[in-house]
Amino acid sequence: MIRRSLNTILILLCLAVQASAADANELFNTLRRKIFSVQDYTADVKMRISVKYMRIPQLAGTLYFKSPDKMRLERHGGLSILPRKNINLTIRNLIPAGNATVIDAGEAQIGGKKTRIIKVIPEDDKSDLVLAKIWVDETSMVALRIETATRNEGTLTMDLEYGRYISNGLPDKLLLTLDVKDFRMPKGMTMDYTESRPDEALKDTKGKKGTIQITYLSYKINTGLSDKIFTPEASEP
């Protein structure tokens, strides 16, 4: 009788684990379909970059994105910028596009909202992304936080707030936190060092964090942006 009861419990546990895995996969695929449905957008933005040893003025401009990874920031009253590939300013760049192993990691509160946590491990050995941990608001089907670990670019965290464009999975505001030692400024960006000598300012960056905050004032979504917008020539004044 005891053995039969133990067998029953083990079977129920196995079924529960399988059901949880299936639910996590379904949740990830539903979230990914929503995010990937945005093929391109043009957004008026304000951007603030905060790094301890630098003084960087707030930027205002137009941000262009085209899937999977084309991006350009056209600054108002200044040069355009082609962000370096290690600065992932969009949710899409933090979501594995190919096959992945998805693990249910429980629940947590983000900004007073209940979220489901899933861990996503890409199956592509060539992917720079090693692990993505995503906090999903299942009611609105959006990611409120994403943490990623990469092979070459360290770790980063993206916190997201939504409003008018939540149905498209696009945030009104995002805050990107990354390791200072892995922080590379976009081409065309100017800054001043807070130290008298840049080499002194760059010392002892281990464990230090930098942030990029973007406020999206408006979007134009899926308008069929041309690839020419993202060429270096297009960024010249």
Residue range 88-145, pLDDT digits in tens: 678 888 888 888 999 999 999 998 999 999 999 998 877 778 899 999 999 999 999 9
* Average pLDDT value for residue range 197-216: 66
- CATH number of 2-235, picked from 1.20.1260.10, 2.50.20.10, 3.30.450.40, 3.40.605.10: 2.50.20.10
Lowest mean pLDDT among 26-40, 171-185, 208-222: 171-185
Query: Would you say the C-alpha torsion 34, 219, 173, 122 has a positive or negative sign?
Result: positive
Q: pLDDT class for 223, splitting at 50, 70, 90?
A: very high
Whether the per-residue pLDDT at 216 is higher than 70: the answer is yes
pLDDT at residue 17, as a whole number: 40
Amino acid identity of residue 25, one-letter, is N
What is residue 198's three-state secondary structure?
helix
At 12, is the pLDDT very low, low, confident or very high (cuts 50, 70, 90)?
very low
Residue 160 tokens, joined: 């997201």
Using alpha carbons only, give the angle 176, 177, 182 rounded to the nearest 5 degrees.
Answer: 110
* Residue 119 · residue 98 · CB < 8 Å: no
pTM, to two decimals: 0.78
